[in-house]
Structure 1
Amino acid sequence: MKLTVDPKPLAELIAWAARAIPNRPTVPVLSGLLLHASDDKLTVSAFDYDASAVATIACEVAEPGRIVAPGRLLAEVAKALPDRLIVDLTATDTEATIRAGRSDFTLRLLPADDYPTLPTPPEPAGTIDAHSFAAAVAQVHPATSNDDTLPMLTGIRLDTDGDQLTLAATDRYRIAVTDTTWNPTAGPISAMIPGRHLHDIVKGLGNGPVQLAINDSMAAFTTSDRQSTVRLLDEQFIDYRARVAMDTTITATVDAPALAAAVKRVGLVADRKTGTAIRLAFTDGEVTLRAGGDDIGRGNETLDSALDGEPIEIAFQSGFLLDALGAIPGKARIGMTEPNKPALFSSEDGSHKQLVMALRLS
């Protein structure tokens, strides 16, 4: 293999693909990145049997070839190269040399013949704007769990109904649901996608349309120069629509970013050992935040708020409260019934809803 390529797109390409390298590969070759050069294109791939990442950039190929380089080391080298000098990459069967100006690196290669065949993606089901899709995933991902003993809680549910695409997640303590639009080319789809993988995938989608493809076992996400696949989880999930359709008798409307900033301030005196509880006391025209106690200190802050219903005081774990508010860019509606019952956080347009468990007041 012999090629020349611009350093900046090369570093971005390799860094994106390297995210799919497993932390503990089942076989050594999976710690590498597969590089394939031909037809003035360089394709970089990563695969761990559960997820794959494939990306392509233009380059000048003098000699086509296929190698497997140590992935994370290659990413560090590519990142460190001078960003204004053309990169020359040459490789034999056993080592690759990367040169940029006076910088010169030689890396030992892994056996390319041992690298597994990459999965074939399913047939496309439709397209969605990359920015809209990434924003929707960011809204629901905090509600996923890291507990692998119950895979359902680690996933993000994807459902479509006509031109509406819905993402949902839960970790038992909250349920997050976001509706957005897409352009379907096939019938309705439903899938449970590992939340960690989907969160990583959308970080590198860039701008423009993303093609979604889903079958019974795999989901694929494709842009003009990148493609990711991920193995699906079991389709079992809760009836999230019924949960977030709860009736509420009290509704407070407040500026979500302002309330989140106030939560961070008063939370400085909350007791980390017993949980960072934030109390919200809603009255006509304002909400008062309280945290802390006699042992550590107390924090209080008051913000403007509109209230429809009776005054109420309710408490939340600060992390859950910040996640719910962080998913809403403007005004948030907080629907409540009783101090010890879950509250429903909603965006003004209703496209995002998050049901959050309240803490018992003492």
Structure 2
Amino acid sequence: MKIRLERDVLAEAVQWAARSLPTRPSVPILAGLLVRADATGVTFSSFDYETSAQIHVNATVTDEGEALISGRLLADISRSLPAKPVDIVSDDSKMELTCGSARFTLQALPVNEYPSLPEMPESTGSLPSDGFAHAVAQVVVAAGRDELLPVFTGIRIEIEGDQVSLLATDRYRMALKEITWDPQSPQTSANALVPAKVLSDTAKSMTAGEKVTLSLASTGAGDGIIGFEGDGAAGRRQTTTRLLDGEFPKVRHIMNFAPALTVRVNTAEAIAAARRVALVAERNTSLRMLINESSITLEAATGDQAQASEAIEAVVNQLDGGEIAVPAAGFNPTYLLDALGVFDTPYVNLAFTAPSKPCQLTGLPELDGEPLTDYRHVIMLMRLPA
């Protein structure tokens, strides 16, 4: 194999393909990055039996061929090269990289021992790349991170015709985003539970092109795989990942309730105030929201050592016309900041039913406008001391 490509193209492609390499591979061969050159360019690939990544970039190919090289070492080297064209030559035993006066020789791994990469499933439909990345970013904050409860570490993708729903929960908060897309068939109906980290990394890395293609091989979980294809900064990218097994909890009904009280606040002001007050919040204690007729006050404390409070203007609406149904609410500070931080609307609406019951957040384009229901975020409130 003999190829030449630009240093920035090489660095970007190798970094992206190597990002999913296992830190502690079950077999040493999985630490390798597969480099394949043909008449159309060069493809860099990685695979750990769960997730595969491939990126195809333009290059001058003098001799076609393939080689398997330590992925993390190649990533470190490509990142450190000077800004000059890179010449790569390889045979069965080694790979040589030359960039200006810098020269590296790497030992090759046996290509015939590397597992076959999974085939990209047939296309199910496509979405705008920016909209897809934004939708995933809004939902992923509610996904769990406890690997002992894998079903909560995924994002559930539900497809019904031209509607795609993304749903995540870690049991203490839930997020639901609904977007339209372009399905291959208007009768498409499917669902998949995708690892949240893989979906988040993939969506962020494919925003250079207009569309991201979603390919679902099976409507079940476990043995099914899902694939994504789109453009990144350096070339065409493909990712497949095995679906998570297990039954995702039925939490949609929690999103549908009639509020007794709503509070409308400026999103930026709420984030700034919550961030300041949370500085003194003791671990595992709540950030308290005191609700008045025309304002809210955020409070937190670390015993007698530190206390903080800040009031901001709010539009408070008691829907039955009586006294304020929820005079105070207790939030996990991290959950509240995570939720507020993913809204791109200037205002946010907080809907309450009763003390210690879930609170639902929706976006508001205008302070007196109707809430946008395409994205809903629910936080389980913490009990406050009597």
Q: TM-score, normalised by structure 2?
A: 0.90
Structure 1 residue 295: Cα displacement = 2.2
Q: Give the Cα–Cα distance (whole angstroms) in 1 for the partners of residues 305 and 212 of structure 2.
A: 50
What secondary structure sits across from 1:123 in the alignment? coil
* 1:315 and 2:330 are equivalent in the alignment: yes
* 1:351 and 2:353 are equivalent in the alignment: no
* Partner residue in 1 for 2:159: 160
Q: Which structure 2 residues correspond to residues 43-192 of structure 1 after superposition, within 5 A?
A: 43-83=43-83, 85-186=84-185, 187-192=188-193
Q: Which structure 2 residues correspond to residues 226-241 of structure 1 after superposition, within 5 A?
A: 226-234=237-245, 236-241=247-252
With over 3 angstroms needed to count, the CA separation of the structure-2 counterparts of 1:41 and 1:276, relative to structure 1, is farther
* Partner residue in 1 for 2:369: none
Q: Give the Cα–Cα distance (whole angstroms) in 2 for the partners of residues 142 and 163 of structure 1.
A: 25
Structure 1 residue 345: Cα displacement = 1.1
* 1:223 and 2:235 are equivalent in the alignment: no
With over 3 angstroms needed to count, the CA separation of the structure-2 counterparts of 1:276 and 1:106, relative to structure 1, is farther
Q: Which structure 2 residues correspond to residues 238-257 of structure 1 after superposition, within 5 A?
A: 238-257=249-268
Structure 1 residue 240: Cα displacement = 2.8
What secondary structure sits across from 1:247 in the alignment? coil
What secondary structure sits across from 2:176 in the alignment? strand
Q: Give the Cα–Cα distance (whole angstroms) in 1 for the partners of residues 337 and 27 of structure 2.
A: 40
Q: Give the Cα–Cα distance (whole angstroms) in 1 for the partners of residues 125 and 19 of structure 2.
A: 25
The Cα offsets for residues 126-182 of structure 1, whole Å up to 9 and x where unpaired, read as 000111111111111121112223321111000122222110011111111111121
Structure 1 residue 293: Cα displacement = 4.3
The Cα offsets for residues 6-30 of structure 1, whole Å up to 9 and x where unpaired, read as 1111111111111111122111111
* Partner residue in 1 for 2:196: 195
Match of 2:314 among 279, 301, 305: 305
The Cα offsets for residues 222-264 of structure 1, whole Å up to 9 and x where unpaired, read as 1251100000112622223211012211011112232112111
What secondary structure sits across from 1:238 in the alignment? coil
* 1:29 and 2:36 are equivalent in the alignment: no
Structure 1 residue 324: Cα displacement = 1.0
Task: Point out the more displaced range, 61-70 or 287-296.
Answer: 287-296
The Cα offsets for residues 77-97 of structure 1, whole Å up to 9 and x where unpaired, read as 1111112x1111111211111
* Partner residue in 2 for 1:277: 286
Q: Tell me which amino acid in the other structure corresponds to 1:316.
A: F
The Cα offsets for residues 72-128 of structure 1, whole Å up to 9 and x where unpaired, read as 111111111112x11111112111111111111111121111111110121111000
* 1:329 and 2:336 are equivalent in the alignment: no
What secondary structure sits across from 1:143 in the alignment? coil
Q: Give the Cα–Cα distance (whole angstroms) in 1 for the partners of residues 65 and 331 of structure 2.
A: 57
Q: Give the Cα–Cα distance (whole angstroms) in 1 for the partners of residues 340 and 331 of structure 2.
A: 12
Q: Give the Cα–Cα distance (whole angstroms) in 2 for the partners of residues 253 and 119 of structure 1.
A: 48
* 1:262 and 2:266 are equivalent in the alignment: no
Structure 1 residue 287: Cα displacement = 1.2
Q: Would you say the 8 A contact 2:133–2:207 is kept in 1?
A: no
Match of 2:300 among 291, 311, 315: 291
The Cα offsets for residues 191-223 of structure 1, whole Å up to 9 and x where unpaired, read as 111112111211211231011110220100012
Q: Tell me which amino acid in the other structure corresponds to 1:346.
A: T
Aligned residues: 359
Q: Give the Cα–Cα distance (whole angstroms) in 1 for the partners of residues 272 and 113 of structure 2.
A: 52
Structure 1 residue 339: Cα displacement = 2.2
Q: Give the Cα–Cα distance (whole angstroms) in 2 for the partners of residues 306 and 87 of structure 1.
A: 60
Q: Tell me which amino acid in the other structure corresponds to 1:306.
A: V
What secondary structure sits across from 1:351 in the alignment? strand
Q: Give the Cα–Cα distance (whole angstroms) in 1 for the partners of residues 37 and 263 of structure 2.
A: 58
Q: Tell me which amino acid in the other structure corresponds to 1:144.
A: A
What secondary structure sits across from 1:90 in the alignment? strand
* Partner residue in 2 for 1:209: 211
Structure 1 residue 294: Cα displacement = 4.3
With over 3 angstroms needed to count, the CA separation of the structure-2 counterparts of 1:9 and 1:357, relative to structure 1, is same
Cα RMSD, aligned residues only: 1.4
